[in-house]
Each structure stands twice: as structure tokens, then as C-alpha cells.
Amino acid sequence: MGMSKHDAYYEPDDYDDRSDEIEERTWELMKAGGEYDPKNVHKVLEALGEISVDTANALQDVIDTNNFELIGRKIMSIAFDYLERYAQEQAERGF
């Protein structure tokens, strides 16, 4: 006899959720000195070279403020997001 809808509500299907492990591995890959280190100048330059038109426009808007702290934060945010995406892809391939 199959599971009733009532039982299914309380007992979700078994699935292999490795999101915590993937997140942890992603952070490990992004640590200082790693291949996906957002504090590495070469990786920052790589990230800036790959930005979309929308991201470039957003960066230009920040540059136009002449607020160097905001500019730096925006550049580091772009690098972080770029490298996090690739680190996460690498972490997912490991599982």
C-alpha cells in the first residue's frame, strides 16, 4: 500500500542534500592563497575582464561618485561574486 498524501506531507522524499558540504567546500576554495581567492589581484583583474554590460554600468555609476571606498567595495564585490560562482561549481563537481 502506498503512502497517503497526509503521510507524504510529514515525510518528505529522501534526497541527497549536500548544500552545507558544498557551501563549506566553496569557502575553502576561496580562502587566501587558493585558486578562487578574491583578494588576489590577478583574480580581481580576471573578474573585471568578464563583467557584463549591466555590471560595468553599475561600476561606472560608483566610479562617478569619486568615493574611493565605494569604488573599492564595488570592485571587490564583483570579484567575490565572480569567484564564488566558479568555486561553487568546482565544489559541486566534487560531490
Say whether pLDDT at 6 is over 80.
Answer: no
Q: Specify whether the CB–CB gap between 36 and 29 falls below 8 A.
A: yes
For residue 62, being part of any structural domain is answered with yes
Give the pTM.
0.76
For residue 16, being part of any structural domain is answered with no
Could you read off the pLDDT of 9-65 as tens digits, one per residue?
665 555 557 888 999 999 999 997 888 999 999 999 999 999 999 999 999 999 999
For residue 18, being part of any structural domain is answered with no
Q: Which residue has the higher pLDDT, 37 or 6?
A: 37
Q: How many domains does one find in the chain?
A: 1
Could you read off the pLDDT of 69-90 as tens digits, one per residue?
999 999 999 999 999 999 999 9
Query: Where in the sequence is the domain holding 86, given as residue range(s)?
Result: 38-95
Q: Which residues 6+ apart lie within 8 Å of 90 measured at CB?
A: 25, 26, 29, 36
> Tell me, what's the pLDDT at 33?
80
